[in-house]
Structure 1
């Protein structure tokens, strides 16, 4: 068991009652082994990234503290996705639940299964704005401040619900 790390998890859904999907996934994060749910953002609505022929997404960000290793946490998150009948039909397509490790402590990870910080988080308003809601002074592993990422990322269609 490793020492506990503060991690941020991005949540998203646009199928099968997405508000309920994200809300129940937040509750399920609190039940993960060696993990404590610290806080979550409010829910947001955003236009889809990629194919536009799909419903808007419901998004949130959760802050957890976990002793799970990065890959063990990824495995647990993928189990939760499967419990929500996640089907990967097409890249950036619709889904019942998407759970992404955005940040894991101050680690930088880049292997065939996991990239942390999340590869696209710096350009996604539905990640950065909820993240700033729960951790406004956050600093990225490379030393960049979340506030500077927000300046470069327009709000777009993102709206609190």
Structure 2
């Protein structure tokens, strides 16, 4: 079993419902247990700016799925929720990013772990800090990154 951290976002339709549906789908994955879900935060779009605000959450889970299996399952969940990949960083019903998978370091054509940009993105780090285990091997790095960045654009919307 590995402790994994995911970042989920939605900026189309009923954003909160897409996030709730995704968490429920994660709960149904074989050999996987959702351990913690952050509150919902509203954030400005990143990259492609001509789109609506996002709702973002972080999820901590324990899974027996291997990294590529987990990626395949999260992409299936995205598709089941109407995800279309038309514009890079564009609007989407649901986005699920694998941020950390235990202490695994991986880089291939399909997956990079840890996520290559996560320490630069407040919309990932603020919810992530909420579900992070205090003794997690990544905790000090995450807290240091958060201490050095503005987080005023990450607005709490509701508790999970």
> What is the TM-score of this pair, normalised by structure 2?
0.93
2:75 to 70, 75, 78: 78
Q: Distance in 1 between matches of 2:137 and 2:42?
A: 25
Unaligned runs of 5+ in 2: none
Structure-to-structure mapping, 1:56-75, within 5 angstroms: 56-75=53-72
Q: Deviations over 1:126-161 (max 9, x none)?
A: 111111111163432xx8522111112210411010
1:39 aligns with 2:36: yes
Aligned twin of 1:105: 102
Show CA shifts across 1:16-68 (max 9, x none): 21111011111111111110010110000000001221000000000000000
Partner of 1:95: 92
Say which of 16, 24, 27 aligns to 1:27.
Answer: 24
Separation (CA, whole Å) in 2 of partners of 1:88 and 1:43: 23
Contiguous gaps of at least 5 residues in structure 1:
none
RMSD, aligned CA:
1.3
1:119 aligns with 2:153: no
Which of 132, 138, 152 is the equivalent residue of 2:148? 152
CA contact (8 A) 1:10 1:101 kept: yes
Instruction: Give yes or no for contact 1:8–1:62 (8 Å, CA) kept in 2.
Output: yes
Q: TM-score, normalized by length of structure 1?
A: 0.92
Contact 1:139 1:146 in 2 (8 A): no
Number of residue pairs matched?
Answer: 156
